[in-house]
Protein backbone atom coordinates (compact mmCIF):
# COMPACT_ATOMS: atom_id res chain seq x y z
CA UNK A 1 0.00 0.00 0.00
CA UNK A 2 1.53 3.26 -1.10
CA UNK A 3 0.99 6.45 0.75
CA UNK A 4 0.11 9.66 -0.99
CA UNK A 5 3.60 11.07 -0.88
CA UNK A 6 5.04 8.03 -2.57
CA UNK A 7 2.36 8.01 -5.21
CA UNK A 8 2.92 11.68 -5.86
CA UNK A 9 6.64 11.12 -6.23
CA UNK A 10 6.05 8.35 -8.68
CA UNK A 11 3.51 10.37 -10.61
CA UNK A 12 5.95 13.23 -10.85
CA UNK A 13 8.49 10.80 -12.18
CA UNK A 14 6.12 10.00 -14.99
CA UNK A 15 4.27 7.00 -13.65
CA UNK A 16 0.72 7.61 -14.81
CA UNK A 17 -0.35 4.57 -12.88
CA UNK A 18 0.65 6.18 -9.64
CA UNK A 19 -1.58 9.11 -10.32
CA UNK A 20 -4.27 6.68 -11.32
CA UNK A 21 -3.96 5.18 -7.87
CA UNK A 22 -4.40 8.58 -6.32
CA UNK A 23 -7.50 9.06 -8.40
CA UNK A 24 -8.83 5.73 -7.32
CA UNK A 25 -8.12 6.49 -3.70
CA UNK A 26 -10.03 9.73 -3.63
CA UNK A 27 -12.47 9.78 -6.50
CA UNK A 28 -15.45 8.49 -4.58
CA UNK A 29 -14.83 10.61 -1.55
CA UNK A 30 -14.44 13.75 -3.59
CA UNK A 31 -17.34 12.91 -5.81
CA UNK A 32 -19.65 12.26 -2.90
CA UNK A 33 -18.71 15.57 -1.38
CA UNK A 34 -19.08 17.49 -4.59
CA UNK A 35 -22.47 15.96 -5.26
CA UNK A 36 -23.65 17.62 -2.09
CA UNK A 37 -21.77 20.84 -2.73
CA UNK A 38 -23.04 21.25 -6.24
CA UNK A 39 -26.40 19.59 -5.77
CA UNK A 40 -26.08 17.77 -9.05
CA UNK A 41 -24.46 14.48 -9.91
CA UNK A 42 -23.49 15.47 -13.40
CA UNK A 43 -22.08 18.77 -12.27
CA UNK A 44 -20.20 17.01 -9.51
CA UNK A 45 -18.78 14.52 -11.94
CA UNK A 46 -17.55 17.30 -14.18
CA UNK A 47 -16.06 19.14 -11.25
CA UNK A 48 -14.30 16.07 -9.92
CA UNK A 49 -13.02 15.19 -13.32
CA UNK A 50 -11.69 18.67 -13.90
CA UNK A 51 -10.19 18.70 -10.44
CA UNK A 52 -8.24 15.53 -11.02
CA UNK A 53 -7.11 16.71 -14.42
CA UNK A 54 -5.87 19.96 -12.94
CA UNK A 55 -4.22 18.11 -10.11
CA UNK A 56 -2.53 15.88 -12.65
CA UNK A 57 -1.30 18.83 -14.64
CA UNK A 58 -0.24 20.86 -11.65
CA UNK A 59 1.08 18.16 -9.43
CA UNK A 60 4.52 19.65 -9.58
CA UNK A 61 3.24 22.76 -7.83
CA UNK A 62 1.86 20.82 -4.91
CA UNK A 63 4.05 21.84 -2.03
CA UNK A 64 2.75 19.21 0.36
CA UNK A 65 2.08 21.70 3.10
CA UNK A 66 -1.34 20.13 3.36
CA UNK A 67 -2.71 16.70 2.72
CA UNK A 68 -3.12 15.79 -0.90
CA UNK A 69 -6.83 15.41 -0.50
CA UNK A 70 -7.12 18.83 1.06
CA UNK A 71 -5.29 20.28 -1.91
CA UNK A 72 -7.43 18.26 -4.26
CA UNK A 73 -10.61 19.32 -2.52
CA UNK A 74 -9.56 22.90 -2.75
CA UNK A 75 -9.04 22.53 -6.48
CA UNK A 76 -12.45 20.97 -6.82
CA UNK A 77 -14.06 23.62 -4.69
CA UNK A 78 -12.51 26.41 -6.75
CA UNK A 79 -13.61 24.75 -9.94
CA UNK A 80 -17.08 24.44 -8.55
CA UNK A 81 -17.13 28.11 -7.65
CA UNK A 82 -15.80 29.04 -11.06
CA UNK A 83 -18.36 26.95 -12.87
CA UNK A 84 -21.16 28.31 -10.79
CA UNK A 85 -20.13 31.85 -11.64
CA UNK A 86 -20.29 31.02 -15.28
CA UNK A 87 -23.60 29.28 -15.03
CA UNK A 88 -26.36 29.83 -12.58
CA UNK A 89 -27.17 26.75 -10.61
CA UNK A 90 -30.08 24.79 -11.91
CA UNK A 91 -31.97 23.86 -8.83
CA UNK A 92 -35.34 22.30 -9.14
CA UNK A 93 -37.58 19.82 -7.49
CA UNK A 94 -35.94 17.23 -9.65
CA UNK A 95 -32.64 17.70 -7.87
CA UNK A 96 -33.46 15.41 -5.02
CA UNK A 97 -34.87 12.82 -7.35
CA UNK A 98 -31.78 13.11 -9.43
CA UNK A 99 -29.59 12.78 -6.41
CA UNK A 100 -31.38 9.81 -5.03
CA UNK A 101 -32.19 8.15 -8.28
CA UNK A 102 -28.94 6.31 -8.66
CA UNK A 103 -28.30 5.50 -5.07
CA UNK A 104 -28.01 1.97 -3.87
CA UNK A 105 -31.01 0.39 -2.30
CA UNK A 106 -30.78 -1.71 0.80
CA UNK A 107 -32.60 -4.82 -0.21
CA UNK A 108 -32.95 -5.85 3.42
CA UNK A 109 -35.35 -3.05 4.21
CA UNK A 110 -39.06 -3.46 4.20
CA UNK A 111 -40.58 -1.61 1.27
CA UNK A 112 -42.36 0.90 3.45
CA UNK A 113 -39.20 1.58 5.46
CA UNK A 114 -37.25 2.05 2.32
CA UNK A 115 -39.81 4.44 0.95
CA UNK A 116 -39.77 6.42 4.17
CA UNK A 117 -36.02 6.56 4.22
CA UNK A 118 -35.90 7.56 0.61
CA UNK A 119 -38.34 10.32 1.36
CA UNK A 120 -36.21 11.57 4.21
CA UNK A 121 -33.13 11.45 2.08
CA UNK A 122 -34.93 13.34 -0.59
CA UNK A 123 -35.91 16.00 1.90
CA UNK A 124 -32.38 16.38 3.18
CA UNK A 125 -31.10 16.69 -0.34
CA UNK A 126 -33.71 19.28 -1.13
CA UNK A 127 -32.92 21.19 2.00
CA UNK A 128 -29.22 21.15 1.23
CA UNK A 129 -29.88 22.26 -2.31
CA UNK A 130 -31.89 25.15 -0.92
CA UNK A 131 -28.96 26.53 1.02
CA UNK A 132 -26.65 29.05 -0.47
CA UNK A 133 -23.28 27.84 -1.67
CA UNK A 134 -21.39 29.09 1.34
CA UNK A 135 -23.59 27.30 3.78
CA UNK A 136 -23.85 24.16 1.77
CA UNK A 137 -20.12 23.87 1.32
CA UNK A 138 -19.25 24.39 4.93
CA UNK A 139 -21.89 21.93 6.08
CA UNK A 140 -20.62 19.30 3.71
CA UNK A 141 -17.07 19.84 4.85
CA UNK A 142 -18.00 19.52 8.48
CA UNK A 143 -20.81 17.03 8.60
CA UNK A 144 -20.09 14.79 5.66
CA UNK A 145 -16.36 15.15 5.26
CA UNK A 146 -15.79 15.49 8.98
CA UNK A 147 -13.17 18.20 8.70
CA UNK A 148 -12.17 20.10 11.81
CA UNK A 149 -12.49 23.85 11.88
CA UNK A 150 -8.82 24.33 11.15
CA UNK A 151 -9.00 22.23 8.01
CA UNK A 152 -12.15 23.95 6.88
CA UNK A 153 -10.43 27.24 7.46
CA UNK A 154 -7.57 26.03 5.33
CA UNK A 155 -9.77 24.83 2.50
CA UNK A 156 -12.14 27.73 2.38
CA UNK A 157 -9.62 30.37 3.26
CA UNK A 158 -11.57 31.65 6.18
CA UNK A 159 -10.57 32.58 9.72
CA UNK A 160 -11.53 29.93 12.21
CA UNK A 161 -13.95 32.32 13.88
CA UNK A 162 -15.72 32.80 10.58
CA UNK A 163 -15.86 29.08 10.08
CA UNK A 164 -17.56 28.66 13.40
CA UNK A 165 -20.12 31.37 12.86
CA UNK A 166 -20.82 30.43 9.26
CA UNK A 167 -21.21 26.80 10.16
CA UNK A 168 -23.64 27.70 12.85
CA UNK A 169 -25.72 29.84 10.52
CA UNK A 170 -25.70 27.07 7.97
CA UNK A 171 -26.98 24.65 10.54
CA UNK A 172 -29.67 26.99 11.59
CA UNK A 173 -30.78 27.50 8.02
CA UNK A 174 -30.79 23.80 7.34
CA UNK A 175 -32.65 23.18 10.56
CA UNK A 176 -35.38 25.48 9.43
CA UNK A 177 -35.55 23.70 6.12
CA UNK A 178 -35.73 20.35 7.77
CA UNK A 179 -37.75 21.23 10.81
CA UNK A 180 -40.71 19.36 9.63
CA UNK A 181 -38.69 16.29 8.84
CA UNK A 182 -36.88 16.37 12.12
CA UNK A 183 -40.08 16.78 14.06
CA UNK A 184 -41.68 13.89 12.29
CA UNK A 185 -38.69 11.65 12.73
CA UNK A 186 -36.80 12.65 15.87
CA UNK A 187 -33.58 10.75 16.35
Residues composing the chain: 187
Shortest distance in whole angstroms from residue 2 CB to another protein: 15
> Distance between CA 3 and CA 25 in Å, rounded?
10
| CB environment 160-169: b (16+ within 10 A), e (fewer) | eeebeebbee
Shortest distance in whole angstroms from residue 92 CB to another protein: 19
Interface positions, 69-128, toward another protein (CB under 8 A): 71, 74-75, 77-79, 81-83, 99-100, 102-104, 120-121, 124-125, 128
**3 or 103: whose CB is closer to another protein?**
103
Question: Is residue 159 within 8 Å of residue 170, measured between CB atoms?
Answer: no
Stretch that binds another protein, among 31-39, 87-95, 108-116 (CB under 8 A): 31-39
Interface positions, 136-175, toward another protein (CB under 8 A): 139-140, 142-144, 148-149, 153-159, 164-165, 167-168, 171-172, 174-175
Shortest distance in whole angstroms from residue 35 CB to another protein: 5
Q: How far is CA 129 from each of CA 132, 136, 178, rounded to the nearest angstrom?
A: 8, 8, 12
> Distance between CA 64 and CA 107 in Å, rounded?
43
> Distance between CA 152 and CA 68 in Å, rounded?
14
Interface positions, 11-30, toward another protein (CB under 8 A): 11-16, 19-20, 23-24, 27-28
Amino acid sequence: MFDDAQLIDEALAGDAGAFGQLVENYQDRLFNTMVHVTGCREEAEDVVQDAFVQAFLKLDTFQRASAFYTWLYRIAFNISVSRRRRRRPELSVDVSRELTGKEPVDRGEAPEDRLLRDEQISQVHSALAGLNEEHRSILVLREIEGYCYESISEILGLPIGTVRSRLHRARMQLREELKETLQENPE
